[in-house]
A and B are shown apart, each in its own frame.
Chain A
Amino acid sequence: MIFNSLLFLCFFAVVLGIHNLPISWRAKKLNLLLASYLFYAAWNPPFVLLIWFSTIVDWQVARAIERAERPAARRRLLLVSLVTNLGLLAFFKYGNFALENFTALMTGLGIPYEPLRMDIVLPVGISFYTFQTLSYTIDVYRGQLKTSKSFLDFALFVTFFPQLVAGPIVRAAEFLPQCLAPKRADRAQLGWGLTLLTIGLFEKAVLADRVVAPVADLVFNDAHNAAFLDAWIGTLAFSAQIFFDFAGYSTCAIGVAMCLGFVLPDNFRFPYAAIGFSDFWRRWHISLSGWLRDYLYIPLGGNRCSTPRIYANLMITMLLGGLWHGAAWRFVAWGGLHGAYLMAERFLARHTRHAQWTQLWIARVTLALATYALTCLTWVFFRAADFADAMAMIRAMTIGSDQNMVIGEWDTIATLLITAGLLTTHWWLRESSLEEKWTRIGTAAQIVLLVVMLFSLAFLRGDTRAFIYFQF
């Protein structure tokens, strides 16, 4: 089920209605749990079994870890959780990828090998809930978290429908305490939750799907024939699309959860106003970068080791972060580029740490624009169908091509306006929050904005597309 569907609106109305009935807190949580399974099963019923399996394994393993006294036993139990969760992820997400690469390797070595093609369907959201359950077990293993006393609460933590399939990746320490006392949104929370849902749907259905996605598709679907301006406009369009699509989903998820009285962490903080790439990753997909930092980068040694080792840690983390997004080398390249940017930034920062000019307004804007431009280059690898297409786009963006432009005047203007608006808005909101600005604009402006967004959703929505991050 996707947020931008009539089915979800009906489903959510029913769930919200039951949640506000005068019934026990336990019954309300059961309602949310059943709704979450229904939400997931609506896509492909058999895959609910995977979530149940993952839930039961991590529930049992975490309790056993807490009971175990010997470190070796605790390590073995942690290994059970890691192998189970990452094994499922590896099979469903990377099975075909591994087989293709093994076949290519064998062929390269001159060994004829033709494996049977595995017809594996990727369960939607598996990367998200796998990381979520893993964080619980690891936190218990590290002694940073007490196990939950309620299986119902734990199962709800794993499957809570607003963020089940595309995040934010919530930590148990953030969610489980919210299950202890009855939750019901007051009028202000309900209003803000619905506002966030509307903003998120507007970002997804209107800005992403209606305005910029067709432009990005037009260019990337015929990347080898892209003219210089086509390539740039197409890439800018995709930069906007991926933000509106993914941030739109996160905003919807946070809004839906808030309507139910739950608070989910921010996942985006105006990333296109980032100054540098460490700042970018504190603003883009925050729940994933936090997860990678806590469970991969720091265990590797983080930045408390030799300089070459720090660079290696950065690169390993970003390469694996890239691979997390998709089973294809272009995602690894995307992560590798970000790793290289982070390394370069770290190197440069050592020499400019005390430079006064970096604090000048104009320098900060320039650095933010440079960060955005370099980020756009990485999106080419993220969006292109394969490496050949990505390289064709990069060539067109750098040395140009003799092709005629295919993007029309209206689409060009719309993309440039959207990009300018996006960058300006992010810069304006950079040091504040959406809620803070929303509160400040006053009631009349709020009503006007809501009416505009609702009308746009009624009249200007694009083709219904699944959220891009569902495939991860």
Chain B
Amino acid sequence: MIWGVAIGVVVLVLGVWEVVLRSAGFPAEATPEVWSIARARAAGGVPVLVGSSRMQADIDLDVWVEVTGGARPAQLASAGGPALPYLEDLAADEGVTGLVVVDAMPFHTFDRGGPSGDLLPGFFAHYERFVSSPAVWAETYLRRWVSTAMVWRTPAASWSSLRQAQSNGTELLFPPRSYMRADRFRPIDWGPTVERVPWTAEEGHEDPEAIRAFVENFGKPADPNETAETIARLEAAARTIRNRGGEVVFVAFPSCGPRKREEQALYPREEYWDRLAAATSFRTIHSDDYPELRDWPCYDGSHLDQDDAAQFTRRFLEILGGG
């Protein structure tokens, strides 16, 4: 009887909470461990996407499948994800034999001492256990299933998030703009309330305070020697993939507004991206070089709205397919 009542109360309250969250527009979100599922797929010859949150937000995987008619890409990118460790990890895996699209934007590829890649050691360690331990493998799939089926488990509705919202004085049940799907696509709904930052405003202007904050958040740019070494290692890893039949493309996704100015001030294109493009034997696509990849509504400076991401993916695939 005791257990019956206790479980009844818990199920009832969770059920009501689930309905409340769904009504408020909260989405169910996949757990971070699904990176290992995507990584395992990467070893199966499917297209692989690596890099930072721009790759995760700007490439719509449903559109990719619709346009190419092929396999769903393994989305391995993550917030702040740097190109090199990802690419070297894939190069070391004989199973990676398909197309690898690398988000190689300079400020996560060539930074020094920043938080870029903080998530990677955890991802790599989990993947190691995922492939060696049946328990971890099964638990990862179970968690993916539960987390994407039940909204009340989403981090945005967790105790910490609600406490944070309360202490910030913001609306308690405000659904997150972005969430991670089971396939690791991270659509962002900027909504009508977010003010668009003018795309071309004050290009090249340097705001010392903004630059200082940027360095604090993302680390200092590497010096020329380190940059050369990073480029050489990217090239070596890419060649390893090509030697077994794969192909690699380096991409710089669009950025805009103050973020673009900060990037340009700290990582001038000619010193970083252009050096990579000149040194590598692989194809490079910089969004600034293609009008169809460049002019998008700009919100936080570097991530597209989910509707724009669908269009962007189509145009990106046209360029990618066009060679």
With a cutoff of 8 Å between Cβ atoms, the chain B residues found around residue A458 in the complex are: 10, 14, 152
Expressed in whole angstroms, the Cα–Cα distance for A336 and B232 within the complex equals 53
Contact A1 B3 (CB under 8 A): no
With a cutoff of 8 Å between Cβ atoms, the chain A residues found around residue B134 in the complex are: 41-43, 45
Contact A450 B138 (CB under 8 A): no
Contact A7 B159 (CB under 8 A): no
Q: Is A60 an interface position by the 8 A CB rule?
A: no
Within 8 Å by CB of A44, from B5, B133, B139, B158, lies B133
Q: From known contacts A450-B3, A459-B158, infer whether A42 and B142 are also in contact, taking CB-CB under 8 Å.
A: no
Contact B139 A6 (CB under 8 A): yes
Question: A443-B2, A451-B9 given. 16 additional CB < 8 A pairs?
Answer: A1-B135, A5-B135, A5-B139, A6-B142, A7-B142, A42-B135, A42-B138, A43-B133, A191-B3, A194-B3, A447-B5, A447-B9, A450-B2, A454-B10, A458-B10, A458-B14
Q: From known contacts A42-B138, A43-B133, A459-B159, infer whether A6 and B6 are also in contact, taking CB-CB under 8 Å.
A: no
With a cutoff of 8 Å between Cβ atoms, the chain B residues found around residue A450 in the complex are: 2-3, 6
Give the shortest distance, in Å, between A195 (CB) and chain B (any CB): 8
Q: Is B211 an interface position by the 8 A CB rule?
A: no
With a cutoff of 8 Å between Cβ atoms, the chain A residues found around residue B6 in the complex are: 447, 450-451, 454
Q: Is A113 an interface position by the 8 A CB rule?
A: no
Identify which of residues 165-192 in chain A touch chain B, using a CB-to-CB cut-off of 8 Å: 191
Contact A44 B10 (CB under 8 A): no
With a cutoff of 8 Å between Cβ atoms, the chain A residues found around residue B3 in the complex are: 191, 194, 450
Report B27-43 CB contacts with A as 1/0, cut-off 8 Å.
00000000000000000
26 contacts between A and B (CB under 8 A): A2-B135, A5-B135, A5-B139, A6-B142, A6-B143, A7-B139, A7-B142, A41-B134, A43-B135, A44-B133, A45-B134, A191-B2, A191-B3, A194-B3, A443-B1, A446-B2, A447-B9, A450-B6, A451-B6, A451-B9, A451-B10, A454-B6, A455-B10, A455-B13, A458-B152, A459-B158
Give the shortest distance, in Å, between A82 (CB) and chain B (any CB): 31
Q: Is A10 an interface position by the 8 A CB rule?
A: yes
B contact residues, range: 20 to 34
Residues of A at under 8 Å CB distance from B?
Answer: 1-2, 5-7, 10, 41-45, 191, 194, 443, 446-447, 450-451, 454-455, 458-460
Expressed in whole angstroms, the Cα–Cα distance for A265 and B132 within the complex equals 33
Q: Is B146 an interface position by the 8 A CB rule?
A: yes
With a cutoff of 8 Å between Cβ atoms, the chain A residues found around residue B143 in the complex are: 6
Expressed in whole angstroms, the Cα–Cα distance for A45 and B1 within the complex equals 40
With a cutoff of 8 Å between Cβ atoms, the chain B residues found around residue A5 in the complex are: 135, 139
Chain B: CB-nearest residue to A457: B10
Q: From known contacts A446-B2, A455-B13, infer whether A6 and B132 are also in contact, taking CB-CB under 8 Å.
A: no
With a cutoff of 8 Å between Cβ atoms, the chain B residues found around residue A10 in the complex are: 142
Expressed in whole angstroms, the Cα–Cα distance for A45 and B9 within the complex equals 40
With a cutoff of 8 Å between Cβ atoms, the chain A residues found around residue B142 in the complex are: 6-7, 10
With a cutoff of 8 Å between Cβ atoms, the chain A residues found around residue B146 in the complex are: 6
With a cutoff of 8 Å between Cβ atoms, the chain B residues found around residue A6 in the complex are: 139, 142-143, 146
Give the shortest distance, in Å, between A256 (CB) and chain B (any CB): 15
Q: Tell which of B142, B146, B152 has the most Cβ of chain A within 10 Å.
A: B142
Identify which of residues 144-169 in chain B touch chain A, using a CB-to-CB cut-off of 8 Å: 146, 152, 158-159
